[in-house]
Chain A
Amino acid sequence: IARMFLRLLSDIQWRAAHPKWRTMTGSQRSTSTTAEPHPVSLPAQAQVVICGGGIMGTSVAYHLSKMGWKDIVLLEQGRLAAGTTRFCAGIVSTARPVSIELKMAHYSNKLYQQLEQETGVQTGYMKTGSISLAQTQDRLISLKRIASSLNVMGIPCEIISPKKVLQLHPLINIHDLVGAMYMPEDALVSSANVSLALATAASRNGVQIHERTSVSHVTVQKGRVTGVETDRGRIQCEYFVNCAGQWAYELGHSGEEPVHIPLHACEHFYLLTHPLKEPLSSSLPTIVDPDGRIYIRNWQGGILSGGFEKNPKPLFTEGRNQLEIQNLQEDWDHFGPLLSALLRRMPGLETLQIMQLVNCPESFTPDMRCIMGESPTAQGYFVLAGMNSAGISYGGGAGKYLAEWMVNGYPSENVWPLDLKRFGTLQSSRTFLRHRVMEVMPLMCDLKVPRWDFQTGRQLRTSPLYDRLDAQGARWMEKHGFERVKYFVPPGNDLLDLDHSKTFYKPDWFDIVGSEVKCCKEAVCVIDMSSFTKFEISSTGDQALESLQYLFSNDLDVPVGHVVHTGMLNEKGGYENDCSIARLSKRSFFMISPTDQQVHCWAWLKNRLPDDSSLVMEDVTWKYTALNLIGPRAVDVLSELSYAPMTAEHFPSLFCKEMSVGYANGIRVMSITHTGEPGFVLYIPIEYALHVYNEVMNMGQKYGIRNAGYYALRSLRIEKFFAFWGQDLDAFTTPMECGREFQVKLEKGMQFLGQEALLEQKQNGVYKRFTMFILEDHDTDMDLWPWWGEPIFRNGRYVGKTTSSAYSYTLERHVCLGFVHHFDEKTGEELVVTTDFINQGEYEIDIAGQRFQAKAKLYPFSSLFTQRRRKDEVELSGYQRE
């Protein structure tokens, strides 16, 4: 083992400019555990304390110091770059399916490329390129989808034939390949050296680095970070950054106020060999063979090959701590299948001599995306961890975004998919994490088809109607731990078949969802929408109204009983949340927002509402079951059940009233459906849920009522051009950019957050515009279906990407929603997008490399709103979420 360490570290050039920690680390870098003296004492205070000296911690320190923050202390419990960073395979790969991850990897690559020149530390950077192989047609489709989105970003990338693969890499057996994707810019680095280079640069910029210093916990007062306790004393600080890798979870839980960082380690194995007789060229491209679950790179004339097995071995569930990751047991039997895959891919390597099997734990997260951002409960507590074995690819970009977040208040890109606040306490159970990461790790290589769901860690949060719906054929998906119905399988359908239909083409629930949609249009359907986040905000005086008027863009000073759709905007006018707020009384409001807003929205409001004991905010999500009655006959069902007239004269659109339904009293009925169809949502205290559901189903029988699921809802909302927060809308999208000026009251008599930005946009125009596309020459039965993230072309030029799509059963066409930008043809500069610009273009949508003609529309088809109840409803109901 020791020999291995030396080999990996042999070429590290230790040229730290900072004299203090040079003496501290010295020239002796053995693995001996004898404690070295700490010649430099810790400072008593600092602006920022970063815990973790791996690629993440050093990258954050590097970027913060570049952005001008100097008073930074980085603490490492062992030695710099000694954890996962040291053992990581050092592949910088940009082929990532999630757009923000792709951007991070792209930036990392560019950063590492010039790092050696900048710091003088050899990083081993070598632009080798990489080839991702496809053994099946489906795999090739998924590669083509990635290639499409890389190409429009200007990142070189090419779909190539097996023959071409052989030209690029002579050792590969290509007989079982159908194609491949070549990325000439991908690179290899020595990850430990990259980390040391970042540390060197940071240190030159004034960052203090202390090794062999453990953080025991972080102190928080009044919701703000105040300091850090270490084994060498206390440091007062304003900001703390948890980059503790696989120990981040434990560190998060060590303080009085726990910070939940859901990640869990798994063992990860890779093989090192001696050089080939004719040593492999160091410029040979890296091979990724996802169908074989392996990657192969050249390494000192031999190869380095590892993979993501089907049966991962989670570890440290009980949180066994240790100073550094000592080399864990090699497990050849476990590695066997990956070795078979390797020899199948490169049969010529049979005679190559083994050097070592490295066991290097990696941390994984519940949704395969990394974790960054600020704690919802402790301001100034930032986190960057859970890299899902792509730490070196993300390191540069992730550090940059986090530094921007700390310095500017928010990163320069939408990072919601990676935001710590997408998780809450509910993803923090060790059992949950252990089970989930065992599913996540193999998924690194599995084919990701549209609409796949996690299978582990399910049935955590359920509606009281779960069993009833399940017995009626419900098929479930999960959002923020909550089980939600996708659709109902009619009795007699082949259930097994249905669950195994994972495809890029037309799925086999097509007709099932079609009939649910039809029922919504013609009769009435019930959808259980209990997962939505529900808050109640009230005050003794006018504080609630005043605060909310400032935090929300629409006018909330409406008569009691009215419902307002409004954005919760940030200073730049972007959507932090999109919600419906009902005014229950003069002084209390009921707020409904998307399911995954539970943590983020709570933190956002908590941090901004005045600290006033007369103002109370309560999360009542768990108190209500929500039933959405959609369809023209909803009004009949409800009036029969309540003995109250429900027609538009008595119960206009966007209205809210407590009434009785069946025997149950106090049911909050709102005339909204989140689809643009007529109907109501009933907010039912949970103990009445079963009763009300039974009453509705019994009474509804004569009106043809049936259960429906979210897929039907989705089809309905997308054909009506309703945007959904988290999918279409994000913190970088303003109401002006998605045609929702009507949900903003710029002149409501008082200031509100984001107002200035919106006024400016109103004056100067917008730089992107939410647009609806109807696919023209797309054959639903034969062609690949759109998903989201497909590039949009206008007159042959790239203008943006789709954000969501669905088949419209009414239009009998696919509908894609997305943003259109206007890039200057010469400079690429972003220009104002006008209505004319949208309307005067020929559009195409690129699905996995194939382009389909599309018609662009800025307004929904008015003919779809057959049951218009009030003239302005079309406009007012322009709000939706999933």
Chain B
Amino acid sequence: FYLTPAQVNSILKANEYSFKVPEFDGKNVSSVLGFDSNQLPANAPIEDRRSAATCLQTRGMLLGVFDGHAGCACAQAVSERLFYYIAVSLLPHETLLEIENAVESGRALLPILQWHKHPNDYFSKEASKLYFNSLRTYWQELIDLNSGETTDVREALINAFKRLDNDISLEAQVGDPNSFLNYLVLRVAFSGATACVAHVDGVDLHIANTGDSRAMLGVQEEDGSWSAVNLSYDHNAQNEHEVERVKMEHPKSEEKSLVKQDRLLGLLMPFRAFGDVKFKWSIELQKRVIESGPDQLNDNEYTKFIPPNYHTPPYLTAEPEVIHHRLRPQDKFLVLATDGLWETMHRQDVARIVGEYLTGVHHQQPIAVGGYKVTLGQMHGLLTERRAKISSVFEDQNAATHLIRHAVGNNEFGTVDHERLSKMLSLPEELARMYRDDITIIVVQFNSHVIGAYQNEE
């Protein structure tokens, strides 16, 4: 079985999406030029999700990748809801009041987010009312709390993550009279998702990470070479601080059973996640909810199964670790990706491949005839060669697609091997998960001129 290059391309490009920040006649003041994103499923259906949106009531842009486990329900819910929680957390008191008043009097709401979505990125219509009510309760509390202080982005991110996870948990405990919704909120709570979210506003880049997706900055050194800077820490057994943190939060008696086979309680790979109430609720609560829940839930062995050595819940949190970075002109791009990418590629390679892709043409020195003797034919040959080189890079119009092509198709020499690519992409569904994970990538490109101008102002 063999896929033609065209077939390979159609598989790789099926989910690609690009967004360019509109250029206002050369007066573009956004530090973000735009972004490319793509997903390659291994699970069927894919359990990864991605989101991107521009904040309309505050400045800045939000981008995030979400890696679901035990189903896609939680990742889906987080991808729809988290940015609203963040945006609301960032809103000044007056705007919150304005929005609340609008809802109260049935007037049109101020738009909060402008989404940048691939047609396959859907929102659940059925749950929107429920989600909205939870969000509204949140902003009402924020209004009541009115601290009068300006909102700190780090705090807003942490609050939003924790609040959403809390709401997911509450909604599952309360249930819903509509049986479809009732089942949905339970599936959301019993499945899990990691999240890696970037908030970019001018030169201020915040990364909030929960779990083992990763954010990485691509930096161009003075000599033109590329290097990678991590902007998140994986929350898993390889991270000593995480292991330490988990151990601190539980009695010494549990020390041995907490992390087994590099997994939390011997079961869960990420040490932080949304949902996963099996690692958060007490055993009594889990049993009560499952018993009163719909039959489907009762029949599911996984949900009924209580983790071993489960003594002092919660064992899991959705609280993110937030890293702030001030963008510099040499920071050319940001890669957000789920662990599917990082398992197959070293960050240094990612930085190089994306960097070379993005600079592509510009990287080639312009030709100048100068005083040399060049004939039309020679020049034509030279230009044809250069075009061929560029077009091999530009087979992909999307940096994320280009990265996936390398992640899946790279041979031992670090170049894309079509045969390997073809084999990996034609694996039957049930086998695909054994050879690769879902991969979701967002590549954000920064506007060095704008960032440079910011720096000069200061």
A interface, CB within 8 angstroms of B: 271, 273, 317-318, 329-333, 335-336, 339-340, 342-343, 349-357, 430-431, 434
Please name the residue on chain B nearest to A317 by beta carbon: B26
Interface centre among B367, B377, B379 (most CB of A within 10 A): B379
**Inter-subunit contact B376/A350 (CB<8 Å):** yes
A332-B375 contact in complex given A340-B380, A343-B380, A430-B25, C-beta closer than 8 Å: no
Please report the C-alpha to C-alpha distance between residue A430 and residue B380 in the assembled complex, in whole angstroms. 36
Q: Is B145 an interface residue (CB 8 A)?
A: no
Please report the C-alpha to C-alpha distance between residue A487 and residue B337 in the assembled complex, in whole angstroms. 49
17 sampled A-B residue pairs with Cβ under 8 A: A273-B376, A317-B26, A318-B26, A330-B366, A330-B368, A332-B366, A332-B379, A332-B383, A333-B386, A336-B383, A336-B387, A339-B380, A340-B380, A350-B375, A353-B375, A354-B376, A434-B25
**Inter-subunit contact A352/B375 (CB<8 Å):** yes
A331-B383 contact in complex given A350-B375, A351-B377, A353-B373, C-beta closer than 8 Å: no
Complex interface: chain A residues within 8 A of B368 (CB): 330
Q: Is B374 an interface residue (CB 8 A)?
A: yes
Within 8 A of A (CB), among B15-73: 25-26
**Inter-subunit contact B25/A317 (CB<8 Å):** yes
A354-B374 contact in complex given A330-B369, A430-B25, C-beta closer than 8 Å: yes
Please report the C-alpha to C-alpha distance between residue A343 and residue B383 in the assembled complex, in whole angstroms. 13
Complex interface: chain A residues within 8 A of B383 (CB): 332-333, 335-336, 339
Closest chain-A Cβ to B382's Cβ sits at a distance in Å of 8
Q: Is B361 an interface residue (CB 8 A)?
A: yes
Complex interface: chain B residues within 8 A of A333 (CB): 361, 364, 366-367, 383, 386-387
Within 8 A of A (CB), among B332-390: 361, 364, 366-369, 373-377, 379-380, 383-384, 386-387
**Inter-subunit contact A329/B376 (CB<8 Å):** no
Complex interface: chain A residues within 8 A of B377 (CB): 343, 349-351
**Inter-subunit contact A339/B25 (CB<8 Å):** no
Complex interface: chain B residues within 8 A of A335 (CB): 383
**Inter-subunit contact A352/B366 (CB<8 Å):** no
**Inter-subunit contact A352/B376 (CB<8 Å):** yes
**Inter-subunit contact A357/B369 (CB<8 Å):** yes
Closest chain-A Cβ to B301's Cβ sits at a distance in Å of 52
**Inter-subunit contact B379/A431 (CB<8 Å):** no
**Inter-subunit contact B376/A332 (CB<8 Å):** no
Complex interface: chain A residues within 8 A of B374 (CB): 353-354
**Inter-subunit contact A349/B376 (CB<8 Å):** yes
Complex interface: chain B residues within 8 A of A332 (CB): 366-367, 369, 379, 383
Please report the C-alpha to C-alpha distance between residue A271 and residue B367 in the assembled complex, in whole angstroms. 14
Complex interface: chain B residues within 8 A of A329 (CB): 366
**Inter-subunit contact A356/B369 (CB<8 Å):** yes
Please report the C-alpha to C-alpha distance between residue A62 and residue B51 in the assembled complex, in whole angstroms. 66
Complex interface: chain A residues within 8 A of B386 (CB): 333, 336
Add 20 more A-B contacts to A317-B26, A332-B366, A350-B376 (CB < 8 A): A317-B25, A330-B367, A332-B379, A332-B383, A333-B366, A333-B387, A339-B376, A339-B380, A339-B383, A342-B376, A350-B377, A351-B375, A352-B375, A352-B376, A353-B373, A354-B375, A355-B369, A356-B369, A357-B369, A431-B25
Within 8 A of A (CB), among B429-443: none
Count: A-B pairs, CB below 8 Å: 65
Please report the C-alpha to C-alpha distance between residue A339 and residue B376 in the assembled complex, in whole angstroms. 8
**Inter-subunit contact B376/A343 (CB<8 Å):** yes
Please report the C-alpha to C-alpha distance between residue A343 and residue B381 in the assembled complex, in whole angstroms. 11
Please name the residue on chain B nearest to A340 by beta carbon: B380
Sorted nearest first, the 9 A-B pairs with minimum C-beta distance are A350-B377, A336-B383, A332-B367, A431-B25, A354-B374, A351-B375, A352-B376, A354-B369, A349-B376
Complex interface: chain A residues within 8 A of B380 (CB): 336, 339-340, 343, 350
Closest chain-B Cβ to A319's Cβ sits at a distance in Å of 11
Closest chain-B Cβ to A146's Cβ sits at a distance in Å of 30
Complex interface: chain B residues within 8 A of A336 (CB): 380, 383-384, 386-387
Please name the residue on chain B nearest to A332 by beta carbon: B367
Please name the residue on chain A nearest to B377 by beta carbon: A350
**Inter-subunit contact A331/B366 (CB<8 Å):** yes
Closest chain-A Cβ to B114's Cβ sits at a distance in Å of 20
Please report the C-alpha to C-alpha distance between residue A317 and residue B387 in the assembled complex, in whole angstroms. 28
Please name the residue on chain A nearest to B23 by beta carbon: A431
Closest chain-B Cβ to A240's Cβ sits at a distance in Å of 29
Please name the residue on chain B nearest to A430 by beta carbon: B25
Please report the C-alpha to C-alpha distance between residue A355 and residue B375 in the assembled complex, in whole angstroms. 9
A354-B379 contact in complex given A317-B26, A333-B361, A431-B25, C-beta closer than 8 Å: yes
Please report the C-alpha to C-alpha distance between residue A268 and residue B380 in the assembled complex, in whole angstroms. 19
Please report the C-alpha to C-alpha distance between residue A430 and residue B26 in the assembled complex, in whole angstroms. 10
Chain B 182-217 interface 0/1 with A at a Cβ cutoff of 8 Å (1 = within): 000000000000000000000000000000000000
Complex interface: chain A residues within 8 A of B367 (CB): 330, 332-333
Complex interface: chain A residues within 8 A of B373 (CB): 353
Complex interface: chain B residues within 8 A of A343 (CB): 376-377, 380
Please report the C-alpha to C-alpha distance between residue A357 and residue B384 in the assembled complex, in whole angstroms. 17
Please name the residue on chain B nearest to A350 by beta carbon: B377
Please report the C-alpha to C-alpha distance between residue A351 and residue B383 in the assembled complex, in whole angstroms. 16
Closest chain-A Cβ to B21's Cβ sits at a distance in Å of 16
Closest chain-B Cβ to A287's Cβ sits at a distance in Å of 15
Please report the C-alpha to C-alpha distance between residue A352 and residue B379 in the assembled complex, in whole angstroms. 10
Please name the residue on chain A nearest to B25 by beta carbon: A431
**Inter-subunit contact B361/A339 (CB<8 Å):** no
Within 8 A of A (CB), among B94-125: none
Please report the C-alpha to C-alpha distance between residue A434 and residue B23 in the assembled complex, in whole angstroms. 12
Complex interface: chain A residues within 8 A of B366 (CB): 329-333
Closest chain-A Cβ to B434's Cβ sits at a distance in Å of 43
Please report the C-alpha to C-alpha distance between residue A342 and residue B379 in the assembled complex, in whole angstroms. 12
Complex interface: chain A residues within 8 A of B361 (CB): 333
Closest chain-B Cβ to A721's Cβ sits at a distance in Å of 47
Closest chain-B Cβ to A266's Cβ sits at a distance in Å of 15
Please report the C-alpha to C-alpha distance between residue A430 and residue B25 in the assembled complex, in whole angstroms. 8
Please report the C-alpha to C-alpha distance between residue A341 and residue B366 in the assembled complex, in whole angstroms. 21
Chain B 377-415 interface 0/1 with A at a Cβ cutoff of 8 Å (1 = within): 101100110110000000000000000000000000000
Complex interface: chain B residues within 8 A of A354 (CB): 369, 374-376, 379
Please report the C-alpha to C-alpha distance between residue A340 and residue B384 in the assembled complex, in whole angstroms. 9
Please report the C-alpha to C-alpha distance between residue A808 and residue B384 in the assembled complex, in whole angstroms. 52
Please report the C-alpha to C-alpha distance between residue A329 and residue B380 in the assembled complex, in whole angstroms. 19
Please report the C-alpha to C-alpha distance between residue A339 and residue B364 in the assembled complex, in whole angstroms. 19
Closest chain-B Cβ to A334's Cβ sits at a distance in Å of 10
Complex interface: chain A residues within 8 A of B375 (CB): 350-354
Interface centre among A318, A336, A343, A430 (most CB of B within 10 A): A336
Complex interface: chain A residues within 8 A of B369 (CB): 330, 332, 354-357
Complex interface: chain A residues within 8 A of B376 (CB): 271, 273, 339, 342-343, 349-354
Please report the C-alpha to C-alpha distance between residue A880 and residue B367 in the assembled complex, in whole angstroms. 58
Interface centre among B368, B383, B386 (most CB of A within 10 A): B383
Interface centre among A331, A333, A355 (most CB of B within 10 A): A333
Chain B 250-264 interface 0/1 with A at a Cβ cutoff of 8 Å (1 = within): 000000000000000
Please report the C-alpha to C-alpha distance between residue A845 and residue B383 in the assembled complex, in whole angstroms. 49
Complex interface: chain A residues within 8 A of B364 (CB): 333
Complex interface: chain A residues within 8 A of B379 (CB): 332, 339, 354
Closest chain-A Cβ to B390's Cβ sits at a distance in Å of 8
Please report the C-alpha to C-alpha distance between residue A355 and residue B376 in the assembled complex, in whole angstroms. 10
Closest chain-B Cβ to A329's Cβ sits at a distance in Å of 7
Complex interface: chain A residues within 8 A of B25 (CB): 317, 430-431, 434
Please report the C-alpha to C-alpha distance between residue A271 and residue B373 in the assembled complex, in whole angstroms. 14
Please report the C-alpha to C-alpha distance between residue A336 and residue B381 in the assembled complex, in whole angstroms. 10
Closest chain-B Cβ to A253's Cβ sits at a distance in Å of 15
Please report the C-alpha to C-alpha distance between residue A551 and residue B252 in the assembled complex, in whole angstroms. 102
Closest chain-B Cβ to A664's Cβ sits at a distance in Å of 26
Please report the C-alpha to C-alpha distance between residue A331 and residue B369 in the assembled complex, in whole angstroms. 10
Closest chain-A Cβ to B389's Cβ sits at a distance in Å of 11
Please report the C-alpha to C-alpha distance between residue A351 and residue B418 in the assembled complex, in whole angstroms. 38
Please name the residue on chain A nearest to B381 by beta carbon: A350
Please report the C-alpha to C-alpha distance between residue A662 and residue B259 in the assembled complex, in whole angstroms. 77
Please report the C-alpha to C-alpha distance between residue A623 and residue B208 in the assembled complex, in whole angstroms. 52
Please report the C-alpha to C-alpha distance between residue A329 and residue B367 in the assembled complex, in whole angstroms. 10
